[in-house]
Amino acid sequence: MTTLTHTLTHRTIPAVTRWLAAHSIDVLRVSLGLIFLGFGALKFFPGVSPAEELSVATVQTLSFGLLSGTTALMFVAAVECFIGLTLITGRLLKTGLAVLAGALVGIMAPLVLFFTDLFPGPPTLTAQYVLKDIVLAAAALVIAARALGARLVPHRG
């Protein structure tokens, strides 16, 4: 074994592993928060968000028409910004994660509510936009596990 290989194996890799165990979920939390805050902020400016039409249609359908148009869009914008701020700051995190759990129902609902519009054959760009949210949901599960007490610890081997 060369000196370089020995150093990487016995010092660097364990150090990187410890750093990742200590910080990677926080990096994931802040990154997810920035995504929610950014996309939520766009919705405060009608005509700017690429998901505006889908967001309004989804909220209108899920609220049985109680929220529609600009009101529905502002509701989504506020919810997404709240989620983003809780994730970025870590303040009210469990509340933000509970709101996120509810929001994920709305985020994924178009797959059921508007399936034939999203998949008239090959998936539309909007369908792909919705499908990428599966990764956001998985990230939220990891963050929620940490918020509820789970810990990522390096393997001692």
Q: Quick: pLDDT tens for 29-63.
A: 999 999 999 999 999 999 999 899 999 999 999 99
Q: Is residue 34 a contact partner of residue 84, using CB atoms and an 8 Å limit?
A: yes
Collapsed DSSP state (helix, strand, coil) of residue 59: helix
Q: What pLDDT shows up at residue 11?
A: 77
Tell me which residue of 119, 97, 107, 76 sits closest to 32, measured CA to CA: 97
Q: Where do we find the tokens 């929610």?
A: 36
Angle between helices 13-42 and 133-147 (to 10 degrees): 120
d(CA 59, CA 65): 8
**Alpha-carbon 119 to chain mean position:** 23
Query: pTM to 2 decimals?
Result: 0.88
| Angle 101-107-113 from CA coordinates, rounded to 5° | 125
DSSP category for residue 124 = P
The list of the chain residues with pLDDT below 50 reads none
Q: Which residues contact 49 (CB under 8 A, 6 or more apart)?
A: 39, 42, 43, 55, 73
Q: How far is the first Cα of the chain from the last one, in angstroms, to the nearest whole number?
A: 19
